[in-house]
Amino acid sequence: MKDFGIELDKLYHYSTPAGFAGISKSKSLWMTNIRYQNDMEEYSYAVKLTLEVLKEYDPPIPYHGIYFKEDVPIYTFSLTGDNDSLSQWRGYTPDGGFAFSFKHQMLANVINRYNLELVQCVYDVEAQKEIIRSKVIGMLPAAWSELYQKAAAVSFDKNTVDGYAHHARTRGWRAMGFSLAQYAPVLKHPQFREEKEWRLIKDTLDPKGERVRWSGKSGQNRALSFACHERQPPTRQASAL
């Protein structure tokens, strides 16, 4: 059995009565685009932090062509290890509601069936910056400085090993926005630390996993729907919470 790093039935979702009824009635989980979370600045926070980290690189990483995506194909569903958090009661259920969990096997089936990621959010700024250096940028400042110096020594000639390595790296950074979109859901502002959030994440460009259902009008504010099943059913219609 896959190790998720936590017992899935110990993860909770805060919801209004209407939200809980919707999940129960539709037997589905609904995921929200990363740019349309309750905290509207969430994706902007990840972008700003990345731009801050880029200032560490000497010589500066060329900004020309670096693309931070406005249309982000990443959707999330929030969970938490705390089933009695005052700030979350106030924030997500101001007029009353529920903090409920799912049966372990049912949630595991959903994760595996739709090829979702389950990740624990990171609130420590230095840890976030390290993720950006190693995962989003993909190169530490010292390594970039060394590569630049070696390429400069051969006049950035792409017919040389060092010149070509420099060219390939800077060209690849034009797609940095795609890498950022994948890791942005993990990078939460420290002020939300007490939420102890975990997230289900779906990259809609990922071809793996069963197809998802869309809700709403076209555009990135649409929601994703994932059917919940107690066991892997013989047909898509045979589902139950």
- Beta-sheet strands, E only, within the chain: 12-15, 28-33, 74-80, 98-101, 117-120, 197-203, 213-215, 223-227
* Total structural domains within the chain: 1
Tell me if the pTM is above 0.95: no
| Mean pLDDT score across all residues of the chain | 83
Q: What pLDDT is stored for residue 27 in this prediction?
A: 82
Q: What pLDDT is stored for residue 199 in this prediction?
A: 94
Q: What pLDDT is stored for residue 2 in this prediction?
A: 64
What is the distance, to the nearest Å, from the Cα of residue 227 to the centroid of all Cα atoms in its chain? 20
Residue 101: beta bridge partners?
A: 12
In a domain, 22, yes or no: yes
In a domain, 238, yes or no: no
DSSP 207-218: --SSPPEEESSS
In a domain, 169, yes or no: yes
- Tokens 């020309």 locate to 64
Condensed to tens digits (0 to 9), the pLDDT of residues 138-176 reads: 999 999 999 999 999 999 999 999 999 999 999 888 888
Give 35's pLDDT tier (boundaries 50, 70, 90).
Answer: confident
Give 230's pLDDT tier (boundaries 50, 70, 90).
Answer: very low
Dihedral through CA 17, CA 22, CA 27, CA 28, nearest 10? -110
In a domain, 110, yes or no: yes
Backbone angles phi, psi at 80, to 5 degrees: -150, 155
Condensed to tens digits (0 to 9), the pLDDT of residues 7-33 reads: 888 999 999 999 999 888 888 888 888
In a domain, 170, yes or no: yes
Give 229's pLDDT tier (boundaries 50, 70, 90).
Answer: very low
Taking 60 as the threshold, does the pLDDT of residue 219 lie above it? no
Q: What pLDDT is stored for residue 41 in this prediction?
A: 79
Condensed to tens digits (0 to 9), the pLDDT of residues 106-119 reads: 889 888 888 899 99
In a domain, 86, yes or no: yes
In a domain, 214, yes or no: yes
Residues of the chain above pLDDT 90, percent: 49
Average pLDDT on 194-218 reads 73
* Residue-number span of the structural domain to which 215 is assigned: 8-227
Q: Which of these, 87, 113, 90, lies nearest to 208 by C-alpha position?
A: 113
